[in-house]
Copies of this chain bind each other. A is one copy, B any other.
């Protein structure tokens, strides 16, 4: 079939495990490719044959670690939206800020990394968009712009606080964002 020496299928797992440990201990900066290679018992060059850069390795790593929490809509848009935005805020606060910022920087440099990072959020992004559209059809949304923009106004502030202003992402803040889009509860 394929001509040459086959790839050692055990390598990928060993490297990802080693990288996960390094990332856990020292964050993005603390993760050294040399140390990952040594810990995995693999040559550094072999590592670069699998992932083109440190950023791509980390993206593959967190894409591997992530087990997406399945989201089951309750039918109540306010409740669903609050749950989703709160969950995103919780994920962002649980992740080291330097990791997110460094991935954003890597995404700005290498388009492939940008696509990978965006793919990580695709599922949640779709869920938020669907709930927003649903809420808008039900006449629950104050403004009349497209759902995509509303999603930006729900999720964007989280990244803005995290990466720019440095303010905390409390669950209460997430609720406030939803309240701003849907208006105050009426009961």
Binding site for B on A (CB under 8 A): 29, 97-98, 100-102, 104-105, 107-109, 114, 117-118, 121, 142-146, 149-150, 152-153, 155-161, 163-166, 173, 176-177, 179-181, 183-184
State how many copies of this chain the complex holds: 2
Q: How far is the CB of A182 from chain B (nearest CB, A)?
A: 9
Chain B residues whose CB sits within 8 angstroms of the CB of A145 once the complex forms: 176, 179-180
Given contacts A150-B180, A156-B157, 4 further A-B contacts (CB under 8 A): A108-B163, A143-B181, A149-B177, A153-B180
Could you say which of B143, B159, B177 contacts A160, with CB atoms under 8 Å apart?
A: B159
Max chain B CB contacts within 10 Å: which of A107, A108, A145, A166? A108
Could you say which of B101, B117, B166 contacts A118, with CB atoms under 8 Å apart?
A: B166
Contact B114 A108 (CB under 8 A): no
Contact A149 B176 (CB under 8 A): yes
Max chain B CB contacts within 10 Å: which of A109, A121, A153, A155? A153
Could you say which of B29, B118, B160 contacts A152, with CB atoms under 8 Å apart?
A: B160
Name the residue of chain B whose CB is nearest to the CB of A181.
B143
Contact A163 B159 (CB under 8 A): yes
Contact A164 B101 (CB under 8 A): no
Contact B157 A164 (CB under 8 A): no
Q: How far is the CB of A97 from chain B (nearest CB, A)?
A: 4
Q: How far is the CA of A92 from the CA of B5 in the complex (A)?
A: 49
